[in-house]
Amino acid sequence: MKIISYNVNGIRAALSKGLNAWLGDERPDVFCVQETKAQPDQVDLEPFTELGYHVNLNSAQKKGYSGVAVLSLRQPDAVFEGIGIERFDSEGRVLRCDFGDLTVVSVYVPSGSSGDERQEFKMDFLTHFLPYVSQLRKERPNVVICGDFNICHKPIDINHPERQIGVSGFLPEEREWMDLFESTGMIDTFRVFCADKDRYSWWSYRGGARFRNAGWRIDYLWTSDTLRGKLVAGDILDKVVHSDHCPVLLEIEE
């Protein structure tokens, strides 16, 4: 099974840049999307349904903001929106789909870069997201949690870490949360297959950051440790350009 996660920074904009053609070539079994920035009635689903995908969306109440989706070649057995807390769920940040004994969650963790209020909101979300995942794993042991976490976990995950001290996305409390998340038995699948530096999934639009590869690795495919023996491949598809992010990939045995 091939799973790809991609913050498209606006699904309509990405479609105008050839997202559907790329998706048709890549053809993942499950395609998790973050930052759709669209209401269901604003998205033309035909480019996806023509490729054979079932489309599930969880949009923010605010138009043109946030939103996640899961596209799958197989229709999910069950679909669940949010984590049960209105202040987070109104922003369309979590979508869960069950396929047999496998659960896939698309998550878009809030950014804290706009100021203290949103940074506090981000940490509050993370505080509640951890028990959500823990409870989910009790009910559904085989879990893939994928998406934009807006956190670089370790110095290897960010360009010039010595210059990023005090920057949202690389704060000690954010990285400590990632440590805690990992310690519960979650696997950062990319690092199972690649220990290289300078592999990133997001680049600022400013200052030619992508050309200089001055990036951040903030997009992840995590699995529960019950799936460790089924991991086949993990990669960052950094040559794919429809967004300021790029897709991240995981292949697992079915």
pLDDT tens column, 167-208: 999 999 999 999 999 999 999 999 999 998 999 999 999 999
Distance CA 164, CA 21 (A): 36
DSSP calls for 5-34:
EEE-SSHHHHHHTTHHHHHHHH--SEEEEE
Distance CA 203, CA 124 (A): 25
Q: What confidence score (pLDDT) does residue 254 get?
A: 85
Q: What confidence score (pLDDT) does residue 92 get?
A: 98
Distance CA 153, CA 54 (A): 32
What domains are defined for the chain? Answer: 2-252 (3.60.10.10)
Distance CA 133, CA 117 (A): 24
Among residues 29, 98, 148, 244, the one annotated as catalytic is 148
pTM of the model: 0.97
**C-alpha dihedral over 177, 31, 28, 148, to 10 degrees?**
-30
Ranges of beta strands (E only) in the chain are 2-7, 30-34, 54-58, 68-72, 78-81, 94-99, 102-108, 142-148, 186-188, 202-203, 215-216, 219-224, 231-236, 248-252
Please indicate whether residue 148 is annotated as part of the active site: yes
Q: What confidence score (pLDDT) does residue 180 get?
A: 98
Q: What confidence score (pLDDT) does residue 207 get?
A: 92
Residues of the chain short of pLDDT 50, as ranges, are none
